Structure 1
């Protein structure tokens, strides 16, 4: 995977933000809709009219709990400028994790690391998903009056994803396959966006609790310049993970503490990735020794030493396609992001598209803010 990436800057009221989003990324949004038609048909045997029936239930919920984001989605649909693309199509993209009733099989390895007494907080992940989606990914900034500026990597048509804001609040996401699903709560991608509109980790958690939780079982790893929490969310309630003795929270694709949902084992590599990432970070701690961690550990080091690891391939931290699976289910690491937050300094992040350390990733390291 190479070449330049689409970088778009959005600003204004919600509908205008959505309109510009739809206009700027119309070909990619049409591609995403085509891709997800195939994925829904393959994974849960839904045709598109069935998908839109569930999307209608979420449309009502979003209108009640996050009306600004529904207006933004309306703008996206209008911006695409195709008579056969309406609001419900965009709602379906934003509720894709929920409409599939927990049948997705995306991976992802995420970690947050408070680096000793340095005051530096790192937050990063490999995002693993269908290879066909990879070419459509875009870098996006969103500015609204009275809210922090947001920078994120997103799938076109989706209003919230992985990234951070000008108040040094960042989010990563790990998919969890579990039931139940609730159409009375916000889809996870809208909760990610909601968090990115908050000015602290505590404010984001309070907002989630006010909204009643997540429509599906998911893990949001959230951090600001002071701390991190692993939020194991579900329609039945959540569990919040704290840093270990080394300042680390590591998470993959199974719940560690949340026992409120029906979660059958699904990705056999998830426990391996969890322990491997912890072990690799532990090796770094031992090697650094008395040198302050904040001086030695940065985004480039984590990409090289942790996120590029290919042990237990194809279900490795750096995920590669499984040759035993068909082309529609070709899953691999599509990007790596590492965010850095320090009190009193501008937050920043580095993004590499493709599998880090593979030689096939983008040679360019994309910096946020740009």
Structure 2
């Protein structure tokens, strides 16, 4: 099976939340519909097609609306623009939580149902200004997920009248995945799993990331990550262009902070906080056994590159192919789904300079496109 390595489509939206969503949905309708088909198809396989699935999704829509009514308005705009039912767009934004609840309700703890669980990987890293040759913070990540998402992902720039503008790499129809804003705040996230997962209902992870990108102040971004109740574990890496980085290993009801070491912060898909490991059980080893060496390989590559690191040094570390296909940079391979798993994108950001560089399927392609708060996309040689 072949996949496109064309640059991800870029869209700049503005106006009210509904208007922004409508622009998103109508301009990128084909990709939004494909995203919707991907995840709503998973619900069908779990026996939650049609109205049964829609009823489940609406429960999460109500939770999202309580967290921020403008998020629901934006999703309604996306749905109208793409000519899709509203519930299908909510599903794109709450896929992890909805699928987990469908599995619980159907008691489908069979091997086939377990294979439908959402287990996106990721290896992330932050370089503080003191270790950067240009004196600017660098924040990046490999996003490991379903290879066909190379043909559903987009880069979205949101112009806001009520807060900082931001740029996010996200699946079409989604409100945010990772990105940075005009206030210098950046976020990436990594899959984690613990024995506390799905013991409560919380805000879908995508909406937490979106709210971070709406913040003017780093303290409020921290509060959004650390204090918002979640349904499942997740790791969120926060940085500020002025030279601050904090990693939060989040259980549904508690968060554990990690600080940089020697000007670096690196994280893959396992808990490393001693406080966390003394209080909960990391249950993700079966899904991500390679997480332990991916973390080490990136850290060692950055340490070996010296004390004046560049974005290219971070890219080199994230291109590491030790242990492939179970590597930092993963080629498409049979995965935990009916399709293929891969590093869908490599994302490297300098929030202080206002840009993000993204390469689709980096195990097959090393061409980056630069997306900016102020300029049109530029493909880099």
TM-score interval, normalised by the smaller of the two chains = 0.7 to 0.9
- TM-score normalised by structure 2 residue count: 0.84
Shift of 1:41: 5.2
CA distance in 1, matches of 2:289, 2:183: 37
CA displacement 1:342-364 (0-9 Å, x = unmatched): 4xxx4222211111xx4x31634
8 Å contact kept, 1:122–1:341: yes
Match of 1:60 in 2: 62
Q: Which residue of 363, 368, 372 maps to 1:368?
A: 372
Match of 2:311 in 1: 299
Match of 1:284 in 2: 305
Q: Number of paired residues? A: 347
Matches within 5 A, 1:299-338: 299-303=311-315, 305-323=316-334, 325=335, 328-338=338-348
Unpaired segments of 5 or more residues in structure 1?
Answer: none
Matches within 5 A, 1:1-370: 1-40=4-43, 46-47=48-49, 49-81=51-83, 85-101=84-100, 103-116=117-130, 119-178=135-194, 179-181=196-198, 184-209=201-226, 212-225=228-241, 226-244=243-261, 246-257=262-273, 258-259=276-277, 261-264=280-283, 265=285, 266-285=287-306, 288=307, 293=308, 297-303=309-315, 305-323=316-334, 325=335, 328-342=338-352, 346-355=353-362, 358=363, 360-361=364-365, 363-369=367-373, 370=375
8 Å contact kept, 1:61–1:183: no
CA displacement 1:122-156 (0-9 Å, x = unmatched): 11001111011111211110011021111111101
CA displacement 1:144-180 (0-9 Å, x = unmatched): 1021111111101111111111111111110123342
CA distance in 1, matches of 2:270, 2:55: 29
CA displacement 1:231-259 (0-9 Å, x = unmatched): 11232211111111x11111111122234
Paired residue secondary structure (1:194): helix
Paired residue secondary structure (1:352): strand
Shift of 1:89: 1.5
8 Å contact kept, 1:114–1:120: yes
CA distance in 1, matches of 2:292, 2:174: 29
Shift of 1:185: 2.3
Paired residue secondary structure (2:348): strand
Deviating above 6 A after TM superposition, structure 1's stretches of 4 or more consecutive aligned residues are: none
Unpaired segments of 5 or more residues in structure 2?
Answer: 102-116, 376-381
Paired residue secondary structure (1:177): coil
8 Å contact kept, 2:236–2:250: yes
CA distance in 2, matches of 1:71, 1:4: 29
